[in-house]
Amino acid sequence: MSLVYFTRFGYAAPLATATIFVGVVITMDFFVVAMLINRSLAMFASPIGTWVPFGLTFTSTYMTGRYQSRCSAPIETSANYEKRLA
Whole-structure pTM value: 0.76
Per residue in 32-60, pLDDT (tens digit) is: 999 999 999 999 999 999 999 999 999 99
pLDDT at residue number 7: 85
pLDDT at residue number 76: 55
Q: Among the residues of the chain, which ranges form H helices?
A: 2-8, 14-28, 52-71, 78-85
pLDDT at residue number 86: 63
* Residue of 37, 34, 64, 61 lying closest to 50 (CA atoms): 34
pLDDT at residue number 8: 86
- 75: pLDDT strictly greater than 60: no
